Amino acid sequence: MGAALALAIMLVVVVGVLSLAVNAQGPFQGTGAASRPIRPARAEHPGAAPPGPARPARRPPRERNERSRERQASSPPPPARQDHPSDPDQLFGDVKPLHSQAHALVMSVVDERTLGPVTRSRLTLRVDPTEGEAFEVTTRVAFPTPEHRARVKVGALIPVRYDPDDHRRVVVDLDREQGD
């Protein structure tokens, strides 16, 4: 009786280990129509039914490419995009450099992630531009070193660059702080 019990326990353990091993490998690879192996061609048997209709031969890719080139040549070219006017200040499409400089009061700092020496923080700033009204913005900053992060505290004034047309675009400019 003791041997049967030990054998039953051993069988349960083996089945559990095998179940864990199979589940760790993910879903079975042989399920679904796309993953079925291709069957080899059957040899003709004397009493076998005749094969069904033959599949049409695939056209070589070159022919399809030639047809698409012909279609492109016959269709008119697409109209030029006019959604971005050509502006000398505009670089790389819609990326515009942030030339306007100001000082911003740090309203809040939330450290989101630290990876090695880099700390990514979410800052809420009150930007006070020389022209126009002050505005608040929330931005994320990746501080390269703990020393850079230590310089930004609630209540501190820090230099920023911003886009006067879109106040959501603000960049903390700590390098300029050292140069001032």
The pLDDT of residue 140 is 92
The pLDDT of residue 127 is 92
CATH architecture type of domain 100-179: Beta Barrel (2.40)
The pLDDT of residue 110 is 93
The tokens of 41 are what?
A: 């061609």
The pLDDT of residue 120 is 93
Q: What is the pLDDT along the chain (180 residues), one digit of tens a residue?
A: 888 888 889 889 988 877 777 776 655 555 555 555 566 665 555 555 556 666 666 666 555 566 666 766 666 665 555 554 444 444 444 555 677 889 999 999 999 998 899 999 999 999 998 888 899 999 999 999 999 898 899 999 999 988 888 888 888 887 765 544
The pLDDT of residue 41 is 60
The tokens of 48 are what?
A: 């076998």
> What gap in Å lies between CA 18 and CA 21, rounded to an integer?
5
Beta bridge partners of 128: 103
> What gap in Å lies between CA 46 and CA 13, rounded to an integer?
52
The pLDDT of residue 166 is 83
Domain coordinates in residue numbering, the chain: 100-179
> What gap in Å lies between CA 149 and CA 120, rounded to an integer?
9
